[in-house]
A and B are shown apart, each in its own frame.
Chain A
Amino acid sequence: MTAPPEETVTAETTPAALSTQPAPAPPGPAGRSLWGRARQLWRRLTSMRTALVLLFLLALAAVPGSLLPQRPLNPTKVDQYLAQHRTIGPWLDRARAFDVFASPWFAAIYLLLFISLVGCLGPRIRIHVRALRQPPPRAPRHLSRLPESTSYAGPDDPTVAAARAAAGLRKGRWRVRVRVGDEAGGVVTVSAEKGYLRETGNLIFHIAVTLLLVVVAIGKLWSYSGTILVQAGGGQSSSFCNVVQQYDSFRPGPMVNGSDLAPFCTTLESFTATYDSDGTARQFTGQITYTDGISGPTHSDALRVNHPLRLEGLRLYLLGHGYSPIFTVRDPSGRTFTQAVPFLPQDGNFTSQGAAKFADARPREVGIDGVFAPTATFPNGILTSTWPAADSPAVAIFVYEGSLGLDSGAPQSVYSLDQQQIASGALKKVASVNLQPGGSVRLKDGTTVRFDGVKQWANLQIAHDPTQGYLLPVAGLLVLGLLLSIRIRRRRIWLRCTPMAGLTSPAETPGTPGARTGGERRTVSEDHPREEGPGPARRTTAVEAGGLARTDAGVFGEEFERVVAGLRGTPATAAEREAE
């Protein structure tokens, strides 16, 4: 600080003095040296203003992430968008607009914010620790210039008046320092301060924000999650083990080594869903058995929405469910193939779509695609479901024969047949039927296709995040710090007790020798007599009071009046207040 002395006093009397906030960086170059410039840049980066701008940028940067489809949430929507917007789409893609929250520019903003936070926290903590150790500062020269100020005349000489006021303030849990002999002319000053917890809270809040960023970032690096669809009912298609190859989709963090995921296996033994009278689901329950660890006992548990299975190293969720119609194909040579194939729900009543592929059927491979309804009706001849439970299931299917195209090596969707095979005529439609459980259709070549019934499937998600347990305490710290910072006011009160010349005489104030000598340091004792007889001689001290608060001055004004009125011994009446 190179401000002139007069300015320094002024700065002390402003609310900024009650905070550890960094002073605004001075504009203009700070010297030509590299070091000077670096320092200047650092001060800029760690200034309040920069933090504000970065906060703004962060909010702004998040906007496209919510308005444009995002790959991690919904890749098909991104593809649709790209197909519909042929000019701007690729540019947006190049700008990472479809994966905003993993984009370099989003990372740049929060990294800068992080650096700014850390950079400003260091000095702020230092200043605050120093302030906690130091007594309240000296009274500023002109108390009447403070946001709150008043003055009154009191009995006793300044030392006594100050001591009494100090005692009163201490009782109100103010931190107090009485200074005798600091100022000439027998003046005694009292400095009092309260609400240090505000700055502590503010620092806790900012530290918590910093920690939150760190913990979330670490979590992103070492966490993974994945989903797997399993059929209910036990057996091979109901089981899943935690190895990368078994997942339908797997999203590892950059530091995850896919080869040593926590050993864990689970089986979906059964699945039940209950529905309200209007068809909205009331509850889903998946009964599972699982083994945790390489070898160990088998446990059982129930997965429900909002009730995941939580183990040491991972969490298991039940995210969705649907139906798997069961088909049996019997080829002319008499061999039978049975499959339960998951169909994807298309509406709230689980009208579902999907396909079954029988690549081993001979002489030709058999493909089925169509619609499943758990409670079937045929308005206008089109199969739809009127109820989500499997009360009267039915399928409406097309049966194809020919080559499914599975051996070409190109990946195919499990929920549909390869449309190119159909278009090229390699796969021919040979039947179109509606079937109820047990119903079958016989094809020309002697192959029969039977709809056996239905199973349920469930979508499980496995998630692993080693840092998650630390987030809650950090978040708690954040709210706590915020509450302290916002609810507590840091405030100062100063009193300047000046002897009033001419109104006192040694005879009338026997307990106060040297009251007017001033300039010498003395300890303050509180055993001076308070009442010293009638007459104007009792009024021997002019007390000037000033107060300053950080934020929300209105409330402090009331407190200031109350405190000062208490110190002065008489509650300030409305009339007096008017008079001032």
Chain B
Amino acid sequence: MSTSDLAHLSDSLFTLAIAVYSVALVSFCGEYAFGRKGRVGQTVSARSSATTTPAVERAMAEVGAPRGGSTSTGTRADDAEPREPRSADPSAEHARRTNGALASTFGRAGITICILGALLHAVSISLRGAAVDRVPWGNMYEFASVVGLVGVLSFLAVLIRQPRLRYLGVFVLFPVLVVMFLAGTVLYARANQLVPALHSYWLAIHVSAAATGTGILMVSAVATGLYLIRTRFDRLQAAGRQDIPFPVSLGRRLPLPDSLDRMAYRTAAFAFPIYTFGIICGAIWAEAAWGRYWGWDPKETWAFISWVVYAAYLHARATAGWRGKKAAWINVFGFASMIFNFFVVNIVVSGLHSYAGLN
């Protein structure tokens, strides 16, 4: 195959991957919609106060101790939704079970389709690399594609540890699809060579670390967003509100705040050293290419901002009075700064990092 054939095939597979992810998204929607309604049946405080005395609870809350994981039960209770109290009404019980089975069918189908999509996506990226004879993350389109794939893969990795979070697939695939759609339309760039400054093995190392970090942090941001929705939902419900408005009403079926928070923390903590490493590699490369390791170029400045904000997030999780909602907001700011760095700084603000490939 000629390189242009490879490039075309890569583009087609990219589009196909979008289509397949969309089907997976619909399937996850099905799982979410038919999922058990009683997930809110019990609240965290109800569960943990059964096994933890208020004094200890308070002390733990103060130092940012994880709550909830109280006794040594086999499956971590808080990774899953609390058990629903059995309904007394047999027909309701029957309906619940059918819905449950349906939901799980949808969920399993969603995962399978999602994995298929990830495979197509990975092949698309590899073919692009073969077509241009370099690593396939040299412009915004390619970078966004890699970030999307990393996002999907890191969600799948989260599921290995917390399989009950599967039905959150909707919320992960949605941003992934948005990113891929933008990549395929506004950011799209034909398979092409790069300017000399990018002819370096540091392109492989620095940019892959940045893309991996970004993809994982995207999943972290999703978990954080859901955490904020869920806690807000709990608060409104506890206050007796009946008409809970849309995004917050999603909280009805979300996992317990603790598992969401933990998912957000684990992913961010996993990504942070990778992102740090990526920035350091960027500095090494900048030293060789531009004559200085750090020059406060807009791209560098925003990478610095994101790094500091994520450091603050990890820090906040250990700081009295900052764990929970405040820390979650820091995570949201962190990802907002990453998005800004990618879209606004690349496209609007000019700098040395002009690799966007848009013109």
Contact = CB atoms under 8 A, between A and B. Distances in A.
Interface in B48-92: 51-53, 55-56, 59-60, 62-66, 69-74, 76, 78-79
Contacts of B262: 552-554
A561 interface: yes
A131 interface: no
A315 B290 CA distance: 11
Interface residues of B, number: 78
Contacts of B287: 468
Contact of B291 (A308, A551, A554): A308
B319 A65 contact: no
B273 interface: yes
Contacts of A101: 296
Nearest to A67: B349
A148 interface: yes
Contact of A49 (B64, B76, B199, B319): B319
A560 B72 contact: yes
A311 to B, nearest CB: 14
A309 to B, nearest CB: 11
B291 A461 contact: yes
Contacts of A24: 320-321
Contacts of A557: 69, 72, 76
B345 interface: yes
A380 B345 CA distance: 36
B296 A65 contact: yes
Interface string A115-147: 000000000000000000000000000001101
Interface stretch (A336-344, A362-370, A472-480, A534-542): A472-480
Contacts of B162: 554
A546 B272 CA distance: 31
A13 to B, nearest CB: 7
Given A225-B291, A561-B72, A554 B193 contact: no
Contacts of B192: 278, 280
Contact of A281 (B195, B305, B321, B345): B195
B119 interface: no
B293 A317 contact: no
B76 A558 contact: yes
A284 B196 contact: yes
B71 A486 contact: no
B289 A554 contact: no
Which size bracket describes the interface of A in this complex?
35 or more
A308 B345 CA distance: 28
A246 interface: no
A15 B349 contact: no
Contacts of B288: 306-308
B322 interface: yes
A305 B289 contact: yes
A461 B200 CA distance: 20
Q: Which of B197, B273, B277, B322 has the most CB of A within 10 A?
A: B273
Interface in B292-314: 292-298, 301-302, 304-305, 308-309, 311-312, 314
A564 interface: yes
B78 A554 contact: yes
Nearest to B296: A101
Interface in B260-283: 262, 265-266, 269-270, 272-273, 276-277, 280, 283
Contact of A564 (B72, B289, B292): B72
Contact of B74 (A472, A482, A561): A561
Closest 7 CB pairs of A and B: A553-B66, A16-B63, A66-B301, A577-B74, A317-B291, A59-B308, A48-B319
26 contacts: A11-B59, A13-B56, A15-B63, A16-B63, A48-B319, A48-B320, A49-B319, A55-B315, A56-B309, A59-B309, A63-B305, A66-B301, A147-B70, A282-B196, A305-B289, A468-B287, A483-B273, A486-B270, A551-B265, A552-B265, A553-B65, A554-B259, A557-B69, A558-B76, A578-B74, A580-B73
Given A21-B318, A280-B193, A557-B76, 16 more contacts: A13-B59, A24-B320, A55-B308, A55-B315, A56-B309, A59-B304, A62-B304, A66-B345, A463-B292, A478-B276, A479-B277, A552-B262, A553-B65, A557-B69, A560-B72, A577-B72
